């Protein structure tokens, strides 16, 4: 009877395990591979444990050819980023950002290091990531032609307010335009990640501005 109960418990636990529904296949340039040959996927959030710089989801090994792979289960899309230890300067080296969602996702950290800006998405081959890729490609084209990038960005966010491509681009836009948060579609304003980051940017701005004004007064007095 005892053995049967152990078997039944094991069977139930196995049955409750959620099957993998995402796989991230990545590659990293040899010069960026740390000595411990590990790369971590982290959730884009300020809600981290005391004493930690990141909210780790998973850490995996980097192969000798620079390739690596993450796999697991995700219930809904999340914005994530990828870091390794920085052997030269200490701390961490930020490699890429992307949207964690169902499917097989490609991640090219080499492209990020040489051709992209800080916030640009480099993940691809999944629905929301591909939308963001197309957004940045169009932005580069509009910028070259001296076009209205902000207008295109607002249109993209409005048209994608119901998916995480819109959330990703909104985070990029609001980082430098947090005062326009109330102009965003309701679905974007109510997204937990958006609300968290905008509140932090607003808080930081109110702390910095008074100091700048104080410094200006000191200069005038002197």
Query: Which whole-number Å values give the CA distances from 179 to 79, 98, 122, 182, 217, in the listed order?
Result: 22, 25, 27, 8, 25
Structure tokens at 161: 């307010």
Cα 132 to Cα 55: distance, rounded to the nearest angstrom: 23
Could you read off the pLDDT tens digit of each residue along the chain, which spans 222 residues? 555 444 444 444 445 568 999 999 999 888 888 999 999 999 999 888 766 789 999 999 999 999 999 999 999 999 999 999 888 788 888 888 899 999 999 988 765 554 444 444 568 889 999 999 899 889 889 988 998 999 999 999 999 999 999 999 999 999 889 899 999 999 999 999 999 999 988 888 776 443 333 333 333 333
The end-to-end CA distance of the chain, in Å, is 88
The two three-digit tokens of residue 84, written as one number: 């390794």
CA distance 52 to 50: 6
């Amino acid at each position: 009877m005892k053995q049967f109960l152990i078997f039944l418990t094991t069977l139930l636990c196995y049955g409750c395990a959620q099957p993998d529904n995402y796989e991230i296949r990545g590659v990293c340039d040899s010069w960026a591979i740390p000595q411990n040959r590990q790369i971590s996927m982290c959730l884009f959030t300020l809600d981290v444990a005391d004493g930690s710089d990141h909210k780790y989801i998973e850490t995996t090994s980097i192969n000798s050819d620079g390739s690596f792979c993450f796999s697991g289960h995700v219930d809904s899309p999340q914005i994530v980023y990828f870091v390794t230890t920085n052997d030269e300067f200490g701390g961490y080296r930020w490699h890429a950002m992307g949207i964690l969602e169902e499917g097989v996702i490609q991640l090219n950290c080499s492209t990020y290091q040489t051709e992209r800006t800080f916030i640009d998405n480099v993940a691809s081959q999944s629905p929301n990531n591909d939308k963001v890729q197309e957004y940045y490609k169009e932005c580069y084209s509009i910028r070259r032609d001296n076009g209205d990038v902000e207008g295109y960005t607002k249109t993209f966010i409005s048209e994608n307010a119901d998916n995480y491509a819109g959330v990703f681009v909104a985070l990029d836009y609001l980082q430098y335009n947090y005062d326009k948060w109330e102009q965003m579609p309701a679905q974007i304003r109510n997204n937990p990640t958006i609300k968290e980051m905008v509140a932090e940017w607003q808080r930081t701005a109110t702390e910095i501005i008074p100091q700048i004004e104080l410094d200006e007064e000191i200069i005038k007095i002197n």
